[in-house]
Structure 1
Amino acid sequence: MQLKNTFGIKIAQDAFKFQLKQLIDQVLFLEKQIKSLDIEIEFYYSQFDSHLTSIPGIGHVTSAIILSEIGDIKRFKNSSSLVAYAGIDPTVKQSGQFLSNNNKMSKRGSPYLRRALFLAASTCTLHDSPLNEYYNKKRSEGKHHLTAVGAVANKLTHIVFAIMRDNKDYVPMA
């Protein structure tokens, strides 16, 4: 069977062909712009003495987002305050003697940092690292995939804090 006869509409095929070509050209143009933007981000990121890319699964673009959203790490007294700023800390629901154990992420603070950390955590769970082991541990405890990734994002934020504070590469603890 030839592909010429697979298009279901019989009228205005030339117009659809033209429209499809225009859409493909737009996608190719956007891909070219994204590649150019990635190169620009990598150029500016390389001017900082950052070690975030030493974490397995975190690239230059994600590192640049994290670095730009955090700014000066000295603004945060400890890693827990950075976790809170990212909005990855759990909410506390309590009333009198009742204490909920079904808590959700607070989602306060920087949504851009939270998204970058969550995406980085998702990627880190795919690499052979302590973060992957932590993810698998959470899954074996019966946690949902997104809950486990959220826990990895929380742990990753503590690691990011230590890397930025000490200005050293990530070295997993044995």
Structure 2
Amino acid sequence: MLAIGMDVHSSKTTAYAVPLEESDLNMCAIAEDFNKSFRNFNSDRPGYAKVASFLEGIEHCILIENSTKSHEVFWIMSDLDLTVVVAHATDLFRITKSVKKTDQHDCYELAHYMRRRMLGEFEFAECLMVDRRWMDRRQLCRAYAWESEMLSDTRRQIKSYMLLRGIRIENMTRDITSVSNLKALDLIADDTLSLLLTRARDFKNRILACEKAIRKEFSDDEMFALLFTVPGFGLITTAYIVSMVVDINRFRNDKAFAAYFGIVPAQRESANSAPRCPITRRGDETARKMILQSTFVHIKTDRDKLSPITQMYDRLIKRGIPHKKALTAAGNKMARMVFTILKNKEPYKF
């Protein structure tokens, strides 16, 4: 059996193979031939097809680092019946902390990471590689998040420009880009303000289009329907979290689920000391922010204080814990509650 490391770049891939058992002379010879043939080849389907042809009938496992190219490469190699594992790059310390930054060195280390993994050592976390449909769902939600962020920037620019020019409108609503506000601003707009108003309308139209597409895409998704019952979780947050989870059964427990979104304390132990640490912030940053924002909305809208999330947050605030830390702790509890809801397939009941 061969353990193979591949250092993948946009145009070229470097590969290196080692036998699982060094005493297997036949596999040693095959690995040597592989290394001569695939020291450097094109990162496209024909290039990986040659690798698949060479490895036909040979047991193998290929390790690549997670990157912007990894999904495309994973899909290609999976279609060619190659066995591929994708590792979180942050776990590959022999590469990230190495002073030797060459493609050959990296694929050599990847091959030995894979070999040790096959022999029972678990030095890195394996990435979930979703299929094209789930990736399209994620990208749709990310497109909405990007458009929403750009609209927020435009709102700030409009407000700043109005202050600079002393522009005021009567009965202005809180959202400066609401329909009524935009109509009022059109009457007094100069060239610069007109440009900002046009941008705001364009962003809002694209956001509405994204919302419509998301509703259609997740209309028959069971996890989406369950999570949408939680107060504070809106359309976009629910869709984005579901697109990151994909399969709730891949998480061991609620703690692992919270850790996936980086809402757990980091570990830093020395001798008999185990100090309190900030959260790990691992995983998808947008998903983590959405969970914390939804937790805040959940707390603010729970006027009767019936939710255990709200009760926990209030207890921490009364003890003098700062808002940000209390909200993070509540976000951890919220993530664990979300896991329970999705795992047991029972809607929110509190």
TM-score w.r.t. length of structure 2:
0.43
Matched, 1:156 2:339: no
Deviations 1:31-83 (A, max 9, x none): 12112211221222222013111111111211101100111001101111111
- Does the Cα contact within 8 Å between 1:87 and 1:105 map onto a contact in 2? yes
Matched, 1:23 2:196: yes
Partners of 1:105 and 1:138 in 2: how far apart?
Answer: 17
Q: 2:316 aligns with which of 138, 148, 156?
A: 138
Deviations 1:6-50 (A, max 9, x none): 947xxxxxxx81221121111111112112211221222222013
- Does the Cα contact within 8 Å between 1:62 and 1:116 map onto a contact in 2? yes
Q: 1:109 aligns with which of 272, 279, 283?
A: 283
Alignment of 1:9-88 (within 5 A): 17-50=190-223, 51-88=226-263
Structure with the larger RCO, 1 or 2 (CA within 8 Å, 6+ apart): 1
- Does the Cα contact within 8 Å between 1:42 and 1:61 map onto a contact in 2? no
1:3 aligned residue: none
2:202 is matched by which residue type in structure 1? F
Structure with the largest fraction of strand: 2
Deviations 1:124-156 (A, max 9, x none): 121214122221111111111111111111011
TM-score w.r.t. length of structure 1:
0.84
Partners of 1:27 and 1:65 in 2: how far apart?
Answer: 24
Q: CA deviation at 1:105?
A: 0.4
Q: Relative to structure 1, is the Cα distance of residues 7 and 151 closer, same or farther in structure 2, using a 3 angstrom cutoff?
A: closer
Q: Structure 2 stretches of 5 or more lacking a match?
A: 1-163, 167-188
- Which one has a bigger Cα radius of gyration? 2
- Does the Cα contact within 8 Å between 1:73 and 1:164 map onto a contact in 2? yes
1:13 aligned residue: none
Q: CA deviation at 1:110?
A: 2.6
Q: CA deviation at 1:123?
A: 1.3
1:105 is matched by which residue type in structure 2? I
Q: CA deviation at 1:109?
A: 2.2
1:143 is matched by which residue type in structure 2? I
Structure with the largest fraction of helix: 1
- Does the Cα contact within 8 Å between 1:45 and 1:60 map onto a contact in 2? no
SS class of match (1:99):
coil
Q: Structure 1 stretches of 5 or more lacking a match?
A: 1-5, 9-15
Q: Relative to structure 1, is the Cα distance of residues 24 and 92 closer, same or farther in structure 2, using a 3 angstrom cutoff?
A: same
SS class of match (1:95):
coil
